[in-house]
Structure 1
């Protein structure tokens, strides 16, 4: 009888135990990329005839990432780019780049990237994800590193990252002949996110 009473008491105590006593799994915080404050950049360069580098950027894009310090493998990122915002500092060239020979912006006004996995490396981490551009979706890898994180002067909390990747133009249906030195484009991303 005593054993039954003790068992009942222990069972009742277990049921009544406060939820706060249960282990809690940390949730990744959401950060919005700070494009409004111009603290984020997507830039690219492509070889020009084997003689020099031609540089450009996308002026308008938005995105967010989920991240918790110490758990980079659980992080994720999504970005949407306004392809019409392409800017190589030359109006006639930009007009051509927006046409069907290249990005065909009228038909495909946006490009998107959504991560599918992140793996730590000795030098930082590699973000794997799906890039959809010009109606084609390809898996790409971005070599990245954390630049820093902490409280900002305005009462917020920020985290910043830098990454690079190389895109093969033909993978996205861009086969305009720019010569053998211009078959790929190097892309650099520098983003600063504000924790929500």
Structure 2
């Protein structure tokens, strides 16, 4: 009886030690800047199944999506146009998706490599993250034209900087 009790206690202690290092994303504030026109915006409707190992970020997985219908730029007509079939095509592609493939620590934080899917097109992308208390702040730059969203004619004119502010729980 004693070996079973000891084994059960050991499993409980081990589970508590390991689970203390894992975190989930409670909420997210996602903002972007369309560089060529200096247009700021946000997107919400965030959903995530990420698992974050706070002691060893390289053991973490990041996966989430946001709702296209929530794009806000401060201009109702521009928002409506961005959601149309010409750009993000909300009817056919209601969500944007990201799934990590690897997490690599660096001296300032960590890099999250993965696949971003916009408007049915999936491309590799890297987010550069820093930990700030119980928040993770990540940034990346992308060209929406790489995803079939041609706002301007030249690729360089379709540059968007994205910032993720993830609140951990």
TM-score bin, normalised by smaller chain: 0.7 to 0.9
Is residue 115–residue 130 contact of structure 1 (8 Å, CA) maintained in 2? yes
Give the aligned length.
Answer: 162
1:184 aligns to what? 159
1:64 is displaced (CA, Å) by 4.0
Q: The residue matched to 2:96 in structure 1 has which SS?
A: strand
2:141 aligns to what? 166
Calculate the aligned-residue CA RMSD, in Å.
2.4
Cα separation, 2, equivalents of 1:43 and 1:121: 24
Instruction: Please list every run of 5 or more consecutive structure 1 residues that lacks an aligned counterpart in the other structure.
Output: 1-14, 35-39, 149-158
Cα separation, 2, equivalents of 1:193 and 1:143: 17
Q: Which has the larger radius of gyration?
A: 1
Cα separation, 2, equivalents of 1:177 and 1:119: 34
2:73 aligns to what? 88
Q: The residue matched to 2:50 in structure 1 has which SS?
A: strand
1:16 is displaced (CA, Å) by 8.0
Cα separation, 2, equivalents of 1:171 and 1:181: 10
Cα separation, 2, equivalents of 1:58 and 1:45: 11
Is residue 32–residue 162 contact of structure 2 (8 Å, CA) maintained in 1? yes
CA shift digits 1:26-62 (9 cap, x unpaired)? 355241422xxxxx3100001245xxx1100103222
User: Which runs of at least 4 in structure 1 moved beyond 2 Å after TM superposition?
Assistant: 15-22, 24-30, 175-182
1:118 is displaced (CA, Å) by 0.5
Instruction: Please list every run of 5 or more consecutive structure 2 residues that lacks an aligned counterpart in the other structure.
Output: none
Cα separation, 2, equivalents of 1:178 and 1:84: 25
**How has the CA–CA distance of structure 1 residues 96 and 121 changed in structure 2, closer, same or farther, with 3 Å as cutoff?**
same
User: Which residue, 121, 130, 139 being the options, matches 2:115?
Assistant: 130
Q: Which has the higher helix share?
A: 2
